[in-house]
Structure 1
Amino acid sequence: MRVLITAGASGIGRAMGQAFEQAGAQVWVTDVDGAALDALPEGWTGREGDASDEAGMAALFAEIDAEWGGLDVLCANAGIAGPTALVEDIALADFRRCLQVNLEGAFLASKYAVPMMKKAGAGSIIVTSSTAGQHGFPNRAPYAAAKWAVIGLMKTLAMELGPFGIRANAICPGAVEGPRMTGVMEREAAAKGMSYDQVYQGYASGTSLGSLVEASDIADMAVFLASKQARMVTGQVMAVDGHTVNPDPKL
């Protein structure tokens, strides 16, 4: 199995790479973080690049095709949190940048992966959305808009590509433990006039299981969606979030 993961050098993407490697896959990642790429596990292929840069993505997929001769699994995982603020306080440039990385990044990765998968008559595209793409989140308008749009993209891909044996699904992580979510919660605490601990506990208590998600939980779902066990699973939104019951918990 040949797997490409965008934003794969750290966080959820790196956890995906580790899980796929354990499942016997070859792993290729791209990321904007050169230092994180330098620290990739032995045996992985890493390339620095912005998922929203079309020329760079076209060159990346040409290199993959030349090196591997095809691609079995795409994890379109690249994304940024975007600003945390009330909608009237968000700059248009920041809104556009959030959509560019989250939505256009998934589109470009899919655009260039599809020809290789069509040639093989098989493939699995897994896009990373968010529970923000299911519920909406106050103070996160750009991110929620992008993550809803990613789901629409995925469902359209599933319809277009099913006749070619290619499946497409989305994973919706909840709040995932790690530096990125820590930054989001710090900014939310400042925006709401709350302490960080209050915001953290609010996120945890807003789920049925009362806990934040680990990156490995997302990775396990990705491996399943790429497996033969999921051969009839396509066009689906798979929430891995401990069951979000209140997307804007207030203590």
Structure 2
Amino acid sequence: MTILPLEGRTALVSGGGGPLGRAFSVGLGRAGARVILVGRNEQALSGAARRVALEGGTVRTAKCDVSDPASVTTLKDTLADEDISVLVNNAGVAGPVKPLTNVTPDEWDGVFAANVRGAYLMCRAFLPPMIAAGRGDIVNIASVSGKRPLLNRTPYTASKMALLGLTRTLAGEVGPQGVAVNSLSPGPVRGPRMDHNFRLEAELTGSTPEEAEHAFASRAALGRLVEEDEVAKALVAMLAMPGLCGADIDLSAGMIAPS
């Protein structure tokens, strides 16, 4: 009988109703984990949960705004009966596509609330039981765009760089207590979110969405976007590497490779 790599573990995925959250959850379920999907959109969560179940996974959903301390506290209380040993901080927003001088303070704060504050609040809520158990994994979903320039996207890139700093410092804090903290930095992942970004970029530059996509993908060594299932497989692989801690895994088709 084959033992799946994550059998017996429970994984909490924020932003679980989005395309990438759904892909992560399906991958975790296939690897044997019990999956808890968290997000603000109950309809999207239900759709993602059905997909996980169709793939043979065990799944539960819970509504939560990870940027709101009260909502995260309620989530922690709701899930008090769960032995969560994997936390995937995937919730986030793309933010505005415009020069920094045109970005409003509310737009800036909104990006950091979802992309950084949310990860902090989720770690603060769900780390204590992991520390008490002497085991656990946290994976923060960062981005290759936190490590190289992405014009007209300063709030997003700054927030993803902040996640890298959170990952490395938190790894040093809780690693000695048995909890591994790492980050996964995808490049451009094919899907609705990137399609939306390409449309905004086209409007800003006077090009077509297809031209915007080609210009973006051509920066990668492999000359293409990353697929959702590739990112999900990378997450599962990271969780199967017990010595991985304080690391950032780049999965960008070579987006940070010199051109």
TM-score of the aligned structures, taking structure 2 as reference length:
0.91
Deviations 1:146-174 (Å, cap 9, x if unpaired)?
00001000111100001111001111111
Percent identity between the two aligned chains: 30
CA contact (8 A) 1:78 1:102 kept: yes
Aligned partner of 2:253 among 229, 237, 242: 242
Partner SS, residue 101 of structure 1? helix
- 1:109 shift after superposition: 0.9
For 1:207, give the aligned amino acid: A
AA at the equivalent of 2:73: A
Equivalent of 1:225, from 230, 238, 245? 238
Letter in 1 for 2:102: D
Partner of 1:210: 223
Distance 2:147 2:87 in 1: 22
Structure 1 unaligned residues grouped into runs of 5+: none
Deviation at 1:131, TM superposition (A): 0.8
Q: Does the 8 Å CA contact 1:33/1:48 hold for their aligned counterparts?
A: yes
Cα distance in 2, alignment partners of residues 71 and 245 from structure 1: 33
Q: Provide the C-alpha distance between the structure 1 equivalents of 2:72 and 2:203, rounded to a whole number of angstroms.
A: 36
Matched, 1:196 2:209: yes
Matches within 5 A, 1:64-103: 64-66=79-81, 68=82, 70-103=83-116
- The normalised TM-score by structure 1 is 0.94
Instruction: Report how many aligned residue pairs link the two structures.
Output: 244
CA distance in 1, matches of 2:18, 2:160: 20
Post-superposition offset of 1:47: 1.3
CA-CA distance at 1:245 after TM superposition:
4.3
Q: How many Å apart are 1:10 and its aligned residue?
A: 2.6
Cα distance between partner residues in 2 of 1:110 and 1:221: 21
Aligned partner letter, 2:66:
A
Displacement, 1:95? 0.6
* Structure 2 residue identity aligned to 1:22: R
Q: Could you list the structure 1 runs, at least 4 aligned residues long, displaced by more than 2 angstroms after superposition.
A: none
From 3, 19, 40, give the equivalent of 2:27: 19
Q: How far apart, in 1, do the equivalents of 2:43 and 2:150 lie?
A: 32
User: Secondary structure of 2:84's match?
Assistant: coil
Local SS of the residue matching 1:47: strand
Query: Offset at 1:236?
Result: 0.8
Moved more, 77-86 or 197-206: 197-206
Superposed CA deviations along residues 198-246 of structure 1, whole A, max 9, x for unmatched, are 111112211011110111111111112222xx11111111111101147
Residue 55 of structure 1: how far off its partner (Å): 0.9
**Shift, 1:189, TM fit:** 1.1
Instruction: Give the distance between the partners of 1:198 and 1:234, measured in 2 at CA.
Output: 39
| Residue 132 (structure 1) shift | 1.1
Letter in 1 for 2:77: A
Provide the rounded CA distance (Å) in 1 between the counterparts of 2:37 and 2:174: 24
> Structure 2: where are the runs of 5+ without partners?
1-8
- From 171, 179, 183, the equivalent of 2:184 is 171
Q: Which amino acid aligns with 1:51?
A: V
